[in-house]
Amino acid sequence: MDLDAIYASHPLRGETILARLERAGADLTRLTELQLAVDPETGLTDQNHSGGVESVLELAIAAGVTASTTVVDIGCGLGGPARVLAVVVGCPVIGIERDESRCRDARWLTALVKLDHRVSIRHEDALAGDVTLREVDVLWGQGAWIHFPSPADFLARWIPALVEGGRVAMADAFLARPPAGRDEEAIVAKLEDSWGARLTTVDEWRCSLESHGCRVVHVRDVTARAIADFSNLLAVSPHWPAGTASDDEKQGWARALEAFARGVIGSFRIVATRTAV
């Protein structure tokens, strides 16, 4: 499925998040990022990735993000992780987002919580045109780089923006093993279509990182958390207002859970350091 179509009907949008806060009686003129990012009851937050705020902070610790770190969140979506980093760590973050509506929502939400002095959102295709950023400390991606068809092509474009000693920090779903038989091949193909993604292995990313002068220093399996998140979405979504989530989106969650259960895919956190310029 085309990414534009996926995001046009995605349950996590600026309007659904703010509607949830309005129903809870929040004062929309005095919102904080944590109000956007945390919602244990419905899961309608600005964190469009597994693990929510906790996973953002764990990846930040693994990647050595501090207040003096310049982070570029490539495929930043609604800007949730960028704003969490700006609030909790205090670092400047540049978000790159190709989808016009996501970019608009990211800017809107950032302004609402008064973080546009630390978080800037650029409407750009991460795979098109020249990369103008340089002297970046961290290239960041959560639940986003799965949409890029080739790790090697993506890294060839973006690694030159990193300083020596800079880090690549990513968390996403990966193939845990090759699909066994037509049944599993069909599950993976349908899941890729649901997500507008290309599923590949941790080893493919590792090899691509190493070939571009980076050394992988941290890999963690966080599949259990992803399973809990998708299970929770399926459990709470029947209580969402009508039209919040499409049937295609719900089928994607169910397919992901089946693929996790079969051991075909897993969720991993990866950090690599650029060792040569």
CATH number of domain containing 259: 3.40.50.150
Averaged over 162-171, what is the pLDDT?
A: 98
Best CA proximity match to 40, nearest among 25, 22, 26, 20: 20
Domains in the chain, number? 1
Per the structure, the complete domain to which residue 116 belongs is given by 3-274
pLDDT at 243: 83
- What b/e sequence results for 31-47 when a residue is b if at least 16 CB atoms lie within 10 Å of its CB, and e otherwise? bebebbbbbeebbbbbb
Distances (CA, A) of 195 to 51, 183, 191, 252: 18, 19, 6, 7
Q: What is the pLDDT of residues 62-108, one digit of tens each?
A: 999 999 999 999 999 999 999 999 999 999 999 999 999 999 999 99
Q: What is the pLDDT of residue 1?
A: 61
Mean pLDDT score of the chain: 95
**How far is 179 from 187, CA to CA, in rounded Å?**
9
User: What's the pLDDT tens digit per position in 120-133?
Assistant: 999 999 999 888 89
Q: What pLDDT is recorded for position 2?
A: 72
Query: What 3-state DSSP class applies to 109?
Result: helix
Give me the pLDDT at residue 209, please: 98
Residue 4 has pLDDT above 80, yes or no: no
